[in-house]
Structures are given as structure tokens and as C-alpha cells.
Structure 1
């Protein structure tokens, strides 16, 4: 088996991505992964705290560069999307350049960019969303995805501002929110548009119930990490996005220069 070091940049109050990403990738049949996190202070999911959190990015990337990681996941979707359309390309470009200055040639992914890439791979153009955010931030996520040429047909905001509490949202509440959406005509459902809102126990169950592809910020992140590392897509019981055989190179953007176009 090959071994890959994954660097995670996470909000200080986030506990879910460090649980779900290892759990997902531990199911991979031909690769092993270790996870190395650096944290940015953030408790409440507000525009002010998100901006303050993003300002800590360079320190976190320097710490992960010291660990010689093979890939970096900037794991806060709304922190990127709240900065305006196309921001994931700018963040990924800046992180790639910072790592290169430290002689680290790592793949760089943001949760925001991973969700966009995964939705295109499904392929899905008309999508429905469940988010944990307060409504103004949820609206920014919707606008961001629409700026990437998706049509958001239905969405839900659970209005949880405390990021620690987002990590405690019961799967039953998330499923109830999804059942309340009009999914007619939707190509896919994003059951958790946030790496802090737990999704793994419900992704496959939701796909079985709703009969359309279901993904989350976590499964999108795992999918994109595997593609960037040129590893087979073969993760069981996590939705069709991660089903064996989804190995097309279509839509794969590897360099910041290409992504920024």
C-alpha cells in the first residue's frame, strides 16, 4: 500500500473533519493515510470571525509544510465562499505558492473547491442543499454555487451559529431538513454543505431514500483528495460519488493557473 500524509487546516472549534475524513479514507483498499492538522481560531460562524480566521492561514500552512504533507485540505467551506465568487481558486493558488516557497510540492484543495469539483463530476447542475448556517451565510453559499453555474433548486438553513454546536447536529435533524426540500428535478443533494456538520452516517441512507446522488462536504473532500493523488475512487457505503469506477479525469484541475481561468 502507498502512504499519503494529509494536512488539514481547520477551525479551532471543528472536530468533525478530523473524524470523518480519516474514517472515509480508512476504507480505501489500496492506500493508507495519516492526518496532520493545524487550527485557526474560530467559534461563532459569523462574517467577522470567518475573516479573522482566514487571516491565520499562512501560519497554518507553514506548520503543515514542516510536516512534509502530500496534500493540504483547507477545511472550512463557508470561510471561503463568504469572501465572494471564485475565492476557492485564489485560496488554492495562494496556498500552493506558499508551499512552493518552502519547497513542498503538495496538492492543495479547499472544501469549497472540492464541492464544486465533485458536483461537476456527478454530474449535477441542479442541486439541493442542507446547510447548518444562519440564513445570510447560507444565502452566500447558494450565491457562490450559482456563480459556478449550478442552479440551487431548494435549500435549508438550520440557523446554528455556534460552530461547536454544528458538530452536534443530529443526523435525524439533517434528514428531516432534507425531507422538507422539494427535490423534484434536482440532479443531486448536498446533505451537509459544511465539514463540521456530521454526514457520514446518513449519506448512503439518504441516497437510498431519495434516489438521487447524495454527497457532503466530507465526501466531496475525500473524492477530490483521491483524484489529486491519482488514487482509485473506491470507498464503500458513502454514496455514488465515491463508488468504485468513478475515475474519469474530466473536470480535474490540478494547477492554480488552470483553476484561475
Structure 2
């Protein structure tokens, strides 16, 4: 019987236990995002301190579109300045979709949650994935294409078709979305990706891993894995 792959939460704990130093990670948050600050502390990382600053787009909107993404990226410099007296080991713009939809350049050294997601998949050698998101369908298709350009094969993807209101998505809705993915793609995949930092996915990670037999990588878990790899001295 084939060995069940290591779950993402178990991998995170193992990295944290092997950490050699405490790191500080700046987290630049979309202004309406509540999931990141809820989930990152619950990861139990004993060698990571997360420092938050909020990004207010010029449009002062919350629905995902070009004005929102561009506004977040433009606000990154000011938010980073608010953390200028904190000795940071990494800075993450905690929006996944802002990482593959283009827009203004980010300040040097700032990566996005999409970059963290790609890094988590690459470091674990999870090259074939199935993708589930709350995004509008064209945005999910754009992410699938962006992942493919990074060498990650998306075997199937599904989305809720929402442009806003991600914190209100229930655990049942996330599980139903994953269960609707084609069985053949699930069997062939190396991992399940739950993309977007704005919906609450941590409560369903173990359930999805149990149902699919695959490790689950979420956007917020990817930020945690980035921090844990830095503190463990692993290559990024």
C-alpha cells in the first residue's frame, strides 16, 4: 500500500521544530482581510513573529478587480514604511490574486502570497495540482495559467465565482467546491491548492487531506511555510 503523503500542517510543524532562529515577517494586508490575522497565529509557529500593516487601495473598494489589485500594489510602499523600524527577514503582500494580475511594481524585497504559494509547491516538489478558489471564474483561469508558467501543472480548477465577501465563505462551501473537482484529476494530482488569503481555509485542511489523500497548500499556509523555511535555514 503506498505511503500517504505528509500533510502540510505536519510539514509546517516539522520545519518549525527544526528552526534555528526566530524570524520576523512583515505582512501587508488588504484592508478588509480578516482571515490572515485569524489563521497565521493558529499555525503555532514558535520561531516566527508576524508584523501586520494594512493596505488601503486608492479606490477604497474590496471587490477584486484591476483598481483593487493596482491599489494594493501602489499602497505597498507606504505600508512598508510603517514597518521600517522593525528588523524584517521577509515581507509578503498577503493577497494571492495581486501576484498574478499585473500592475505597478512592488518595493524591492516584497513578494506576494502567490509567490509564497509557488515557493511552497516548488520546495515540496508538488508539480501537479488541482486548484480551488473563491474568485470569479476568469481570475481562477488566470491563476491556472500563471501557475503553469511557473512550471506547475494545474490538472483541474474550480471557483465559487465571487468577487467579494470571501470571509463569509463557509467550511461547507469550501469542501463542496473541492468535492466537485474531477475524480481523475484528484487522483493524478500531487496536491490540492486552496488559493486566496481572504477565505478561511485552515479549518478544512485536514478534512480535505483526508478526503483526497493529498497534501493541501493554502495561501495562508504558504506564508507560514515561507517563514518556517527561513527560520529553519532551508533554501527558498
Query: Is the TM-score greater than 0.5?
Result: yes
For the residues of structure 2 that align with 1:153 and 1:31, how far apart are their CA atoms?
A: 35
Q: Looking at both structures, which has the greater relative contact order when contacts are Cα pairs under 8 Å and sequence separation is at least 6?
A: 2
CA–CA distance in 1 between the matches of 2:83 and 2:203?
29
State the partner residue of 2:207. Answer: 205
Match of 2:108 in 1: 95
TM-aligned CA distance change 1:36 to 1:51, over 3 Å: closer
* Partners of 1:61 and 1:95 within 8 A in 2: no
- 2-structure distance, mates of 1:226, 1:196: 21
Structure 1 residue 49, shift from structure 2 partner: 1.8
Shift of 1:222: 0.5
1:187 to 187, 190, 195: 190
Q: Deviations over 1:41-63 (max 9, x none)?
A: 34111122211221111111111
CA RMSD of aligned residues (A): 2.1
Q: CA deviation at 1:226?
A: 1.2
Q: How many Å apart are 1:138 and its aligned residue?
A: 1.1
- Please give the residue correspondences for 1:86-165 in structure 2 after superposition, counting only pairs within 5 Å: 91=106, 94-96=107-109, 108-162=110-164, 165=165
TM-score with structure 1 length normalisation?
A: 0.74
**Distance in 1 (alpha carbons) for counterparts of 2:132 and 2:88:** 32
The alignment partner of 1:22 has SS state of helix
| Poorly superposed stretches of 4+, deviation over 4 Å | none
> Unaligned stretches of 5+ in structure 2?
1-19
TM-score for the superposition, normalised by structure 2: 0.82
5+ long unaligned stretches in structure 1 = 97-107, 232-248, 254-261
Corresponding position of 1:239: none
Matching of residue 33 in structure 1 with residue 49 in structure 2: yes
Q: Could you list the per-position Cα deviations for residues 75-110 of structure 1 after superposition, in whole angstroms to 9, with x for gaps in the alignment?
A: 1110111118xx9xx74xx432xxxxxxxxxxx542
Please give the alpha-carbon distance, in whole angstroms, between the structure 1 residues aligned to 2:115 and 2:74: 19
Report the count of equivalent residues: 211
User: Which residue number in structure 2 is paired with residue 259 of structure 1?
Assistant: none
- Asked if 1:50 corresponds to 2:69, the answer is yes
